[in-house]
Structure 1
Amino acid sequence: MHALVSLIDRITGATGVIGACLVAPLIIASCYEVIARYVFGAPTVWAFELGYMLTGANFLLGMAYTLREQAHIRIEVFYQFFSARTKAIIDSLTYVLIVVPICSWLAYGLYEYALNSYLEQETSGMSAWNPMIWPFRITFAIGFATLVLQAVAELIRAADMLYHGDEPKLVVELGTKTSQPAEGV
């Protein structure tokens, strides 16, 4: 199981890095558009569409990474006072009943949506640039599929915690979660 969780964490990390790398071209395109529009009086036909596509892809590809790093917003009013075992039970139920089935359904539906867009050679229809839209839509399916994978990894971690007690045995090697104290602590 450790190998599976580690593999999923690496996949999630890779999609998170890809999503993060999309910020640089987004910034460059936005700056270019501002200069072209206000300095040269010649706005681009592509900056708006490229901007929403890169922003959307950044968000969708970062969802699973955010779950891996435990950075999603959760209501801590009661959760923070629960024992590690109770938290693991709540997390397990959440992943089994909500996250995995709903996100699996979404990933499959969004894959079909992207496939139809590819087969029909659909374009955006929003500007004179009018790019093919399927590459943007495939990021929807990839984002939700990696979220499902990461939810499975988190479910395995929660089950491991329930089985072994308060000290988790399965850890993220490259992320911020670890069961070992940091050096010098």
Structure 2
Amino acid sequence: MGFAAKYVRVVDAVNYRIGRVMMYSLFIMFGVLLWSSISKTFFVPSLWTLEIAQFLLVAYYILGGPYSMQLGANVRMDLLYANWSAKKKAWFDAFTVLFLIFYLGVLLYGAIDSTTYSFEYNERSPTAWRPQLWPIKVVMCIGIFMMLLQAISELFKDIARIKGEDL
């Protein structure tokens, strides 16, 4: 379990730091939305505020997901799960995380394809502001990749729990 322990330690540390930064990025989004309200009321409405707020929310959600998974803050159906032993939970989690890993792999493949298209054709948003879309698509690729790494980390932790060890 030497490699697994090191992998878990590194991936958890990186996702923890990214998650903490993203947690405070909400304040940036609040500032953008506050400016949007002020500019619409007192000045000429800004074209960029709504889209920037949407991009920030995507980054918050995508990059904060691995941190949420790490903390166990993801949503579960606790009807049966809550009453199971730690070993039974680990077996169930180890089985179901394989579906998540497959899903994230497919999602990452599509995200990389979409990002490549965005770079090749200089894709822009169809709004009046027309920002380039590649920056948010790159953020999405990074976030999905980090979520994939975190899912593998959770698999290693579950396997260790099944063996009676703790990473």
TM-score range, shorter chain: over 0.9
1:14 is matched with 17
* Higher relative contact order structure (alpha carbons within 8 Å, sequence separation ≥ 6): 2
Q: Offset at 1:121?
A: 1.1
2:113 is matched with 112
- Larger helix proportion, structure 1 or 2? 2
- 2:30 matches 1:33: no
Give matches, 1:82-121, under 5 Å: 82-96=84-98, 98-121=99-122
Give matches, 1:131-146, under 5 Å: 131-146=131-146
Q: Are the equivalent residues in 2 in contact too, given 1:122–1:134 (CA < 8 A)? A: yes
Q: Offset at 1:69?
A: 0.4
Q: 4+ runs of 1 displaced by more than 2 Å?
A: 17-22
Q: Sort the Cα spacing of 1:114 and 1:22 in 2 relative to 1 into closer, same or farther, 3 A.
A: farther
- Residues 100-145 of structure 1: per-residue CA shift (max 9 Å, x gap): 1111110121012112101211111212x21111111122222221
Q: Sort the Cα spacing of 1:14 and 1:115 in 2 relative to 1 into closer, same or farther, 3 A.
A: farther
Q: Are the equivalent residues in 2 in contact too, given 1:113–1:137 (CA < 8 A)? A: yes
Q: Calculate the aligned-residue CA RMSD, in Å.
A: 1.3
Q: How many matched pairs?
A: 164
Q: Are the equivalent residues in 2 in contact too, given 1:117–1:133 (CA < 8 A)? A: yes
Gaps of 5+ in 2: none
TM-score (norm. length: structure 1): 0.84
Q: Offset at 1:14?
A: 2.9
Amino-acid identity (%)? 24
Q: Offset at 1:13?
A: 1.6
TM-score (norm. length: structure 2): 0.93
